Chain A
Amino acid sequence: MIKIESIKIERFRGIHSLELTPNRSSLAIQGPNASGKSCVVDAIEFALTGDLSRLAGEGTGDLKLSCHGMHVDSRSNPSEASVTLRLYIPESGVSFSISRSLAKPNKPKLTPDNQTTRSALDRFGKRDEITLTRRQIAKYVLAQASKRGTDVQNLLRLDSISTLRKLFATTEKKAVEQSKSANIALGQSKEELERHLQIPIRDESRVIQAINEKRSLLGLEPIVLLTPDKVFEEAGQDVAKLHDAIFRETALRDIEAFQTADIGAKALQSSEEICSLLDEIANDPKLNVATRSAKLYEQGLDLLDGDLCPLCDTPMPIAQLRQHLDEKLRLSKRGAEIAQAIAKAAANVREAAEDTIVKARLVYKNASSVKQDQFCTSLKNWVDSLKSQIELLSSLEGIIALRKQISSIGDRSALAEGLSQLTRVVQAIPDQSATIHATQYLTLAAERLKQVHTFEEKATLADRVLARARFIHETYSRVAQSELESLYQSVEGAFADAYRSLHPDDESAFVAKLTPDEGKLDLGVDFYGRGFFPQRLITAKGIRTAWGCVCTCHS
């Protein structure tokens, strides 16, 4: 507990200058409307917390403490607006003062400033009570049924929990995507290295042996460790010129890898699945509409409180209306399942296409080295077209637009002649001497090994970030759930007591149960001992009165 000895308010809200001295006694303020009674409460809150709840939350528009906390005569000079409280703590017998200016609301001045007074400020700043204005009480009483839970969460400042939980969930989702991309890139780089070495890279001793055979041909010392900088650190000026030349065998294997990439089979298989699912939507107009209207139906169910459809005013018995909207909602869920299945099938095609583009990049490099310019242009156009198709596969609208072409995504028939020509040109490269062969082998091995190491580092980092993001999300969700359950258990008893005291004649058996559910506030009510039901199923009148009680018992 704290007791206020004095309050000094300067240029704050509607008060120009005011000094009150309750002298540790209770203080009542009386006056006509708009005379500044609430401003005194605001000033006390501001001095204790640096915040002003009346200017925060939904419905306050663009109002901000920094712009609208000052008296109208000092609106351009926040340093003139200040509140000073002289406080007394009975249990410790300590008196101290807090002074805050709107220019620096987060930097209170304490006198004396020591561990005791800072600790007291921190404790009391967190303990402030909820003070409702008449406008706020009216707002919660009159709130729409579907928005009442949200409004109460905002009142209790629980919206920040939901916001933070969403932030952590989104962060984890992005970390999953980053980890997946990094590991796919790592797998591709390993595949490219193995295609060159023709040895599984996990068999490190064999890889080192093969590299040392080539190094021996060049009169170089054998290596012991397989690191990119050791594989061919002696590469000199002359060797560097060969860097862009083709290593024939690997170039042929790169071309074959591109030609045999299995995008065609995946595209055909996914195309059949996607077309079948799209047909299901197209053949059922109700399903098509329901897929886009799930939120509307949910809102309709929330608003249902009589024999009149809340969406179109059609008279209908409430039971029939509920059955009607439930059926619509069931269709919506089926629509959502279909959309999810389509996205999954499209993702398979997209991943195969991205893998094929990586393989095409190596073919392009080889073709460029042997001056197959026309083929390079064709290949570039083909890749650009494939990238556009990948982009379309990211959304349902794009998939629908691409429907007829999905089965032929990645079709390389237009490149067949150019690929054959490139293969012939590469095959026609004359036999290279053993030393040139060894130089090119080592150069390419070092380049691809370096790439593997780079992607390994990225994948390791992405996996570490994912582990951290997942832990943070799980920990915060668990803590929030536990704390909310504890809070709701402490509130629901007082709420039910207040409701019963207002309706002692006919609803003396009323019981309420508050439960947190993924950031939402669910209220189950039992009026007559028949079990708990969601609050939206009970008549609006009863619940409005009940929520009014919540506001009252917290104020």
Chain B
Amino acid sequence: MESTRNVGSHVIDVFIQELSQNNAYSMLAEPIRQLLESEKALKPEVLLSLLQTDDSTSELKEVQA
């Protein structure tokens, strides 16, 4: 780890990498990464909504719209 400043970002990177390497949950990696980078106030309801669909990306677009 190069710097303490971005530990949060680094943890997210590793977390997303682990998700994408898991066959059962890899489809969630990209939508969750987008959600975490969306700079919107994150709420459990938004995340639950994201987890409800297989086509998580389109759901995310609706949530962010």
- Residues of chain A having any CB pair with chain B under 8 Å: 126-130, 156-158, 160-161, 164, 167-168, 170-171, 174-175, 178, 461, 464-465, 468-469, 471-472, 475-476, 479-480, 483-484, 486-487, 490-491, 554
The majority secondary structure among interface residues of chain A is helix
Which residues of chain B are near A157, meaning CB under 8 Å?
4-8
- Residue contact A475 to B2, C-beta cutoff 8 Å: no
Complex alpha-carbon distance, A438 and B30, angstroms:
54
Complex alpha-carbon distance, A167 and B35, angstroms:
13
**B42: nearest residue on chain A (CB-CB)?**
A167
Known contacts A175-B51, A475-B18, A475-B19: A170-B3 contact under CB 8 Å: no
Which residues of chain B are near A486, meaning CB under 8 Å?
1
- Residue contact B51 to A465, C-beta cutoff 8 Å: yes
- Residue contact B48 to A483, C-beta cutoff 8 Å: no
Which residues of chain A are near B1, meaning CB under 8 Å?
483, 486-487, 490
Interface residues on B, range: 20 to 34
Q: How far is the CB of A554 from chain B (nearest CB, A)?
A: 7
- Residue contact A156 to B4, C-beta cutoff 8 Å: yes
- Residue contact A129 to B3, C-beta cutoff 8 Å: yes
Complex alpha-carbon distance, A159 and B15, angstroms:
17
Known contacts A178-B48, A468-B25, A472-B32: A484-B7 contact under CB 8 Å: yes
- Residue contact B44 to A171, C-beta cutoff 8 Å: yes
B65 within 8 Å of A by Cβ? no
Q: List 22 A-B contacts (CB under 8 A).
A: A126-B3, A128-B5, A130-B5, A156-B4, A158-B7, A161-B8, A164-B36, A164-B42, A167-B44, A167-B47, A174-B44, A178-B48, A465-B51, A469-B47, A469-B51, A471-B24, A471-B25, A475-B15, A483-B1, A484-B11, A487-B1, A554-B4
Complex alpha-carbon distance, A127 and B7, angstroms:
10
Which residues of chain A are near B9, meaning CB under 8 Å?
126
User: Other CB < 8 Å A-B pairs besides A161-B8, A465-B48, A465-B52, 16 of them?
Assistant: A126-B10, A130-B4, A157-B4, A164-B11, A170-B44, A171-B44, A171-B47, A468-B28, A471-B22, A471-B24, A475-B18, A476-B15, A479-B14, A479-B15, A487-B1, A487-B7
Known contacts A167-B47, A175-B51, A468-B51: A480-B11 contact under CB 8 Å: yes
Q: How far is the CB of A494 from chain B (nearest CB, A)?
A: 11
Complex alpha-carbon distance, A306 and B34, angstroms:
51
Complex alpha-carbon distance, A376 and B7, angstroms:
62
Count of A-B contacts with CB under 8 A?
A: 97
Which residues of chain B are near A130, meaning CB under 8 Å?
4-5
**A477: nearest residue on chain B (CB-CB)?**
B15
- Residue contact B5 to A156, C-beta cutoff 8 Å: yes
Q: How far is the CB of A332 from chain B (nearest CB, A)?
A: 28
Complex alpha-carbon distance, A175 and B24, angstroms:
18
Q: How far is the CB of B59 from chain A (nearest CB, A)?
A: 12
Complex alpha-carbon distance, A177 and B8, angstroms:
29
Q: How far is the CB of B24 from chain A (nearest CB, A)?
A: 8
Which residues of chain A are near B22, meaning CB under 8 Å?
471, 475
Which residues of chain B are near A479, meaning CB under 8 Å?
11, 14-15, 18
Q: How far is the CB of B28 from chain A (nearest CB, A)?
A: 6
Q: How far is the CB of B17 from chain A (nearest CB, A)?
A: 9
Which residues of chain B are near A164, meaning CB under 8 Å?
8, 11-12, 36, 42
For the complex of A and B, list the 5 residue pairs with the smallest distance between their C-beta atoms, beginning with the closest.
A160-B8, A171-B44, A468-B51, A170-B44, A465-B51
- Residue contact A472 to B6, C-beta cutoff 8 Å: no
Complex alpha-carbon distance, A484 and B14, angstroms:
12
Q: How far is the CB of B23 from chain A (nearest CB, A)?
A: 12
**A462: nearest residue on chain B (CB-CB)?**
B52
Complex alpha-carbon distance, A419 and B48, angstroms:
43
Which residues of chain A are near B5, meaning CB under 8 Å?
126-130, 156-157
Complex alpha-carbon distance, A170 and B15, angstroms:
18
Known contacts A167-B42, A461-B52, A476-B15: A483-B7 contact under CB 8 Å: yes
Complex alpha-carbon distance, A491 and B7, angstroms:
13
- Residue contact A161 to B7, C-beta cutoff 8 Å: yes
**A175: nearest residue on chain B (CB-CB)?**
B48
Which residues of chain B are near A468, meaning CB under 8 Å?
25, 28, 51
Complex alpha-carbon distance, A541 and B6, angstroms:
30
Which residues of chain A are near B6, meaning CB under 8 Å?
126-128, 157
